[in-house]
Chains A and B, each alone.
Chain A
């Protein structure tokens, strides 16, 4: 493991961080955090995964279950909170936009029920698959992933929100690591 200190003058001008905080290369003791089939009722926002300590989030795959068409997809999603401040809010529609609507368009214009997978992937954030109900023009299962590093010194929280009128099931598997 390599350790660099940011108070070195040659590092300080190029790193956006406060001086003295050590940067570690790699995530020590990577571990999985998961929340399985957690139901969030309509109109609710709930914590799915909370990590306390100093570390980094590196990856997550999230499964949304229920029945949601394009309009509802704006009202279901996740929030990322780092060190007690909200850093990102992504609805399923926004996940689609990161992926050029590749999954939704493929399912919607297929005209048939079934599992669909996008032909293109955004390497950082995107959709990876969904089960489409063509009668209702809605997804019944929907997978997204987050593939970036988010560092935290105090806490990392992933919340699920559901502003629709029906229940949505959230399953999250995330990888986090902490600094020694």
Chain B
């Protein structure tokens, strides 16, 4: 597995961390839940970007399926 992907969700943000062991190159995407109005759409954009780079995005798709509709901006997210 040369390209790995990890998702860390906290009340403040979602971090999508990627690393390509072939190129020794990593990238981190941070979605600030206080500022991002459409986190679901942003994640879909990131999925498309990562698929272009040949990442296996199943984890992100599962994340969207589990959490997608519950992701809301800021305070709304916690009712």
Which residue numbers of A lie inside 8 Å of B, CB to CB? 29, 31, 33-36, 38, 46-53, 55, 176, 178-180
- Do the beta carbons of B6 and A52 come within 8 Å of each other? yes
Which residue numbers of B lie inside 8 Å of A, CB to CB? 1, 4-12, 15, 17, 19, 21, 26, 59-60, 62-63, 78
- Do the beta carbons of A33 and B78 come within 8 Å of each other? no
Residues of chain A lying within 8 A (CB to CB) of residue B6: 29, 31, 51-53, 55, 178
- Contacts A/B (CB < 8 Å), 30 sampled: A29-B4, A29-B6, A29-B19, A29-B26, A31-B8, A31-B17, A33-B8, A35-B10, A35-B12, A36-B12, A46-B78, A47-B9, A48-B11, A49-B8, A49-B9, A50-B9, A50-B10, A51-B8, A52-B8, A52-B60, A52-B62, A52-B63, A53-B4, A53-B6, A53-B7, A55-B6, A176-B8, A178-B6, A180-B4, A180-B19
Distance A35 CA – B14 CA, assembled complex (angstroms): 11
Distance A7 CA – B12 CA, assembled complex (angstroms): 41
Q: Given A29-B26, A178-B4, A179-B4, A49 and B10 touching (CB < 8 A)?
A: yes
Residues of chain B lying within 8 A (CB to CB) of residue A55: 6
Residues of chain B lying within 8 A (CB to CB) of residue A179: 1, 4
Residues of chain B lying within 8 A (CB to CB) of residue A35: 10-12
Chain B, Cβ-Cβ closest to A52? B7
The 8 closest A-B pairs by CB, nearest first: A52-B7, A53-B6, A50-B9, A35-B10, A33-B8, A38-B11, A178-B6, A52-B63
B19 to chain A, nearest CB (A): 6
Residues of chain B lying within 8 A (CB to CB) of residue A33: 8, 10, 15
B6 to chain A, nearest CB (A): 4
Chain B, Cβ-Cβ closest to A156? B8
- Do the beta carbons of B78 and A50 come within 8 Å of each other? no
A180 to chain B, nearest CB (A): 6
Distance A29 CA – B10 CA, assembled complex (angstroms): 19
Distance A176 CA – B26 CA, assembled complex (angstroms): 16
B78 to chain A, nearest CB (A): 7
